Amino acid sequence: MQKDVLISSILHNEVKPLKKSDLVGDALSYMDKNAISSVVITDENNAPIGIFTERDALKIVSNAIDCDTQLLEVMTKNVFCIDVDTYIHDAYVLMEQYEYRHLVVVNDKNEYMGVVTEGDFLRYMGFEDVADAKLVKDNMNKSILTVMPETSLIEVAKLMTQKKCDYAVVMSDTKPQSVIHERDITKFLSKRTEIDEASIEDVDQHHMYVIKKDASLKEASDMMQQHGVHQLIVVDTADVLVGLISRHDLLKAVHRSYFDYLYKTIEAKAQREKELIRHKEELERLANYDQLTKLPNRLFFQTYLKKSVARTIRNKQKVAVILFGLDRFKDINDSYGHSIGDEVLNIIKQRFLKRAREGDFLARLGGDEFGLILENINSIDDVSNILKEMLSAISATAELSNGVELHIEASAGVTLAPKDSMDVGELLQYADSALNDAKKSHKGYFSYYANEMTQKAQEKVAFENALRNSIKNGELELYYQPQVYIKTGKIISAEALIRWNHPTNGLVNPTVFIPISEESGIINAIGEWVIHEACRQGKIWEDAGYNLTIAVNVSANQLKYQNIPKIVQEAIYESGYSANKLEIELTESALMQREESVVEMLHLLRAKEIRLAIDDFGTGYSSLSYLKRFPIDILKIDKSFIDELPYNKDDAAITVAVIEMSKALGYQVLAEGVENEEQLAFLKEKGCTMYQGYIKSKPLPAKEFEALIRACLG
């Protein structure tokens, strides 16, 4: 199926519109003659002012209205019109949403261009994407309007109007005998004036075409086409009437399967990634030993450490976890080659093992890193003594197979369980930072973790304090990154991205301080500042005549603890910025976290005309089916899908699917992180609405951003 075709290509315009002074009778015979189900009524400027459909005709029957009545009095006023350059799928979604049978199409001067019906959509969409597996019984209508042959025409028309049915099945005792359509009644009406006495038997009835409930939708469609009918009676294996399937049902199924296809593409990628990870894990599990030294590897080390910790806690003892790193090992590899490097590693291993006591556990963790677990330690002095001995043994000169004599040196980091932690991951992390400390400050020797920890904790407290004061000290600043409308190349909006001008560390990126601010609750104050600042700046630009939307980021944590609608309300009020120029960006995962309250909050924001964007779209696969519940304006495709466009097939398929889906659901779609022309050309071809990325500009301070817009304008 072609995906981005405009409605103009399936438009009917051979049928001319009528005028409001034309009579109902004229309209009915006109519809009958042209075999159409509606006529549009236009004014002297050819603008649609009303529509008269078969359903309106039914009302005429049921209300006994005269055929000499002017259309003005009976037509449906408020005609819903769509633009001639709407995409077909968008148009269909609209029609579905509002439960219309036709869409009236106008050009940009609001002049009547034609009508599109369900039949036109079905002919266009076709059955390519519908699997043969889709069955009539799963898509049919089970509640059927049945009438008896002697029922009066007025009564039938009333029932059809009430039940919103465009047909009724005429029964003979318990068996279906024929079908009567809206159109049959319209036709009857156009030929006769007296209908009060008429019953169904006076109307030409249609032969009933019957299909089995287990037939496929494709078969149903073929049958409808072959006989020129819009619905089929559905029977079970015993030929008992079980439902009715209409062209409307077919169309719905076709469209649904188009969406299924989009979802499947995206889910398939998620699945493949999961499998890849599982596969890798299995491979790792297969090998518990290091190939080169035949020592246990990191995985085994971790498993063993876990048991070790449990054991010593039971025995009220201590465990020491030690990481060793060789100094200058990379130099050895670089100057003598990898086989000498391998030889060195094996020599080290021998020296370790020579000093080890029974029950000590040695592993090669990777590269030049070894790990040692010492159980049943009585005092720290024991550990220090063992380490001193080991390190000096290692540093003895070694004679290698190539005749070179090498002086090797190792450093070590130590952490103790349960004193420092009882968690394997933490212990390894602490030992690692102790090792780094040893390498930095006393090469060839060892460090204990304890000091390191207090230092880190102090640094963290200092950082948090500085962050807490950043607002008051005026150290926070918003940078703005342009968002470009692809069709015109114009900058139409900006994403506000926060920066912290740290007094000593310089410019700090949000990826560093936003998580810390969230941990410590400072995010609330920062988030509030961001919204106020964006509105303040937005108002300045608005007054200067720049037509820009500004997007601000709101994190999952902010949603949890802050009253975002209230903050937004205050910021808009204080600044005087236009609410419909402010956009809130939320990630998919933030939406998913607290779905119910988020839906409510988003509707509150929407009621204030605030725009809503989903950020990093595609990284939280699960939310796709929920999308429709949120009042969204724009989807931002995550940078990770854009990075390898157009070469990565998966990413290309996903990007196209997201663009398509956005169009169909009536969202705008923006590609994030566009860095080169090839990516942009791909996005343009696929109909993506907007992009943002370094190819246009990095995020800029407000002054520079303004200069950029001015340069673009002039």
Taking CB within 5 to 8 Å according to partner kind, which of ligand C2E, Ca ion, none is near residue 565? Answer: none
**530 near ligand C2E, judged by CB under 6 A:** yes
Maximum pairwise Cα distance, the chain: 118
Cβ proximity to ligand C2E: between 497 and 656 the closer is 497
Residue 490 C-beta: closest distance to ligand C2E, Å:
18
- Bridge partners of 39, per DSSP, are 52
Residue 530 C-beta: closest distance to ligand C2E, Å:
4
Among 17, 176, 341, 699, binds ligand C2E (CB under 6 A): 699
Residue 556 C-beta: closest distance to ligand C2E, Å:
9
Among 553, 555, 575, 679, binds Ca ion (CB under 5 A): 553
Alpha-carbon distance 543 to 393, whole Å? 76
Of the candidates 388, 408, 405, the one whose C-alpha atom is nearest the C-alpha of residue 396 is 408
Q: Can you read off the two tokens belonging to residue 70?
A: 């002017």
The b/e string for 3-16 (b: 16+ C-beta within 10 A; e otherwise) is: beeebbebebeebe
Q: Can you read off the two tokens belonging to residue 50?
A: 């009303």
Residue 585 C-beta: closest distance to Ca ion, Å:
4
Cβ proximity to Ca ion: between 542 and 616 the closer is 616
First vs last C-alpha separation in the chain: 42
When computed from its CA atoms, the radius of gyration of the chain, rounded to whole angstroms, is 37
Q: Which stretch binds ligand C2E (CB under 6 A): 14-22, 462-470, 484-492, 550-558?
A: 550-558
Alpha-carbon distance 110 to 448, whole Å? 79
Tell the burial category of 513 from Cβ atoms under 10 Å away from its Cβ (0-12, 13-18, 19+).
buried
State whether residue 222 is helix, strand or coil: helix
Alpha-carbon distance 134 to 216, whole Å? 6
Cβ proximity to Ca ion: between 120 and 615 the closer is 615
Show contacts with ligand C2E in window 585-644 (CB under 6 A). Answer: 615-616
Strands 318-326 and 369-377: antiparallel
**673 near ligand C2E, judged by CB under 6 A:** yes
Taking CB within 5 to 8 Å according to partner kind, which of ligand C2E, Ca ion, none is near residue 26? Answer: none
Among 420, 616, 651, 660, binds Ca ion (CB under 5 A): 616
Alpha-carbon distance 131 to 261, whole Å? 10
Cβ proximity to ligand C2E: between 394 and 494 the closer is 494
Cβ proximity to ligand C2E: between 119 and 673 the closer is 673
N residues, the chain: 714
**561 near ligand C2E, judged by CB under 6 A:** no
Can you say whether the dihedral through the CA atoms of 75, 77, 82, 88 is positive or negative? negative
**585 near Ca ion, judged by CB under 5 A:** yes
- Bridge partners of 135, per DSSP, are 216
Cβ proximity to Ca ion: between 130 and 590 the closer is 590
**555 near ligand C2E, judged by CB under 6 A:** yes
Cβ proximity to ligand C2E: between 50 and 693 the closer is 693
Residue 73 C-beta: closest distance to ligand C2E, Å:
56
H or E stretch at 39: strand 38-42
Show contacts with ligand C2E in window 468-527 (CB under 6 A). Answer: 481, 497-498, 509-511, 514, 527
Can you say whether the dihedral through the CA atoms of 543, 544, 547, 553 is positive or negative? negative
**615 near Ca ion, judged by CB under 5 A:** yes
Q: How many residues bind ligand C2E (CB under 6 A)?
A: 21
**420 near Ca ion, judged by CB under 5 A:** no
Q: Which stretch binds ligand C2E (CB under 6 A): 16-24, 98-106, 300-308, 548-556?
A: 548-556
Q: Are 48 and 115 in contact (CB under 8 A)?
A: no
Vertex 268: Cα angle to 267 and 273 (nearest 5): 100
Taking CB within 5 to 8 Å according to partner kind, which of Ca ion, ligand C2E, none is near residue 588? Answer: none
Q: What's the gap between Cα 700 and its chain centre?
A: 27
Q: How many residues bind Ca ion (CB under 5 A)?
A: 5
Cβ proximity to ligand C2E: between 330 and 698 the closer is 698
Q: Are 691 and 680 in contact (CB under 8 A)?
A: yes
Taking CB within 5 to 8 Å according to partner kind, which of Ca ion, ligand C2E, none is near residue 673? Answer: ligand C2E
- Name the residues that contact ligand C2E, by CB under 6 A: 481, 497-498, 509-511, 514, 527, 530, 553-555, 615-616, 673-675, 692-694, 699
- Name the residues that contact Ca ion, by CB under 5 A: 553, 585, 615-616, 672
